[in-house]
Amino acid sequence: MASAQTKFMVGLFLIVGTALTVVVVIWVGMSGYLEEGKNFVMYFDESVQGLDQDSTVKYRGVPIGSVQSIGVAEDGKLVEVVVKIRKGEIPSEPVSAQLKSVGITGIMFIELDLSADKPADMPPLSFEPPFPLIPTRLSGFNQIFRSVETMLHRFKEMDVEGVISRLQRDLDSLDKVINNTNTAAISESIVVSLDRLNAILDPDRWDRILASVQSVGPEVEHTVADARKMFNRAETALEKLDGLLGQNQDNLTLAMEALKETMEAASVMVKEGGNLVAGTDDKVAHLQQHLLVSVQNMEKATENLNRLLESLAQDPAQILLGQPPSPRNLQGGRE
């Protein structure tokens, strides 16, 4: 009985273990198919060595899906990669895919990132993709190699021999110019110029110049102050002289008017001719009166002018420091 019971327990254990193993394998295998998500397709114009089925798909380092299948596209040039992205983690903004490697192991995964400032490198498709398309960009190493290839291609297209010949011709022309240049004279001129510059920039000389300027400064200030005083006095003298002329302007005006009337009366008397005798007494009296007034006014003006000149001759400073005389009024030839 003990032997039969042991065999039964061992057999039951094996049956239960096998069943559990089958269930786990089936569950693990079916979990990817039963997982909710959406399929996308990508086309790479480069080698996808290191990328396998079930490789991770990341969005800025965060896993959001996995690779479902890898194959050759319908055109026979591109590599078609179908991925499944879990529901709720599909980016709403336009994204682009790029192959990335994990360290130095060679294992690859797909990195998604926003494509607003990163244009796609995928060529136009000549067929209709089976799922929504995610544009792709070249990996970092392939971008470098592609840039190097472009540079080498452009370098091959350049006329290298023509460039070298033109460069050689320019170097020959430069060599001729240098040979024809009198470098010794130029060097000597530069040395002389530097010596003169050193002489000009001599500290002792600049100290003497500054000392001279400082010593002359007070004298210049005194001279400017004296000149300012002289100009002020001259301006005051001119103002006083203008006042004196203004005070005597009435006398001079009266004298000129009397002289003008006298000349007009004499002209009328000459024109009248024969009528001069008839009105001799009245006209002579009138003429004498006007002449007397004119002579008196001119005499007073001359007297005032003589007095002014004598005053200036005796005391020149009076015109700068003195006060103007009191005004005088002339009416009818009397003060």
Q: How far apart are CA 86 and CA 66, in angstroms?
A: 9
Report, as an integer, the average pLDDT of 58-68: 90
Cβ partners under 8 Å of residue 127, min gap 6 = 73, 74, 75
Task: Provide the greatest CA pair distance for the chain.
Answer: 201
pLDDT at position 211 is 78
Taking the model in full, what pTM does it have? 0.40
More confident residue, 1 or 131: 131
Tokens of 126: 């000549």
Residue 71: name the closest of 52, 54, 97 by CA: 52
**Position with higher pLDDT, 219 vs 13:** 13
Residue range 189-239, pLDDT digits in tens? 888 888 887 777 677 777 777 777 777 777 777 777 877 887 787 777 777
Identify the weakest region by mean pLDDT among 10-14, 23-27, 133-137, 265-269: 265-269
How high is the pLDDT of residue 213? 73
- For residues 330 and 37, which has the higher predicted lDDT (pLDDT)? 37
Range with top average pLDDT, 233-237, 249-253, 291-295: 233-237
More confident residue, 307 or 233: 233
Per-residue confidence (pLDDT) for residue 332, from 0 to 100: 47
Distance (Å, rounded) from C-alpha 206 to C-alpha 272? 91
Rounded Cα distance, 122 and 156, in Å:
26
Q: Does position 80 have pLDDT exceeding 90, yes or no?
A: yes
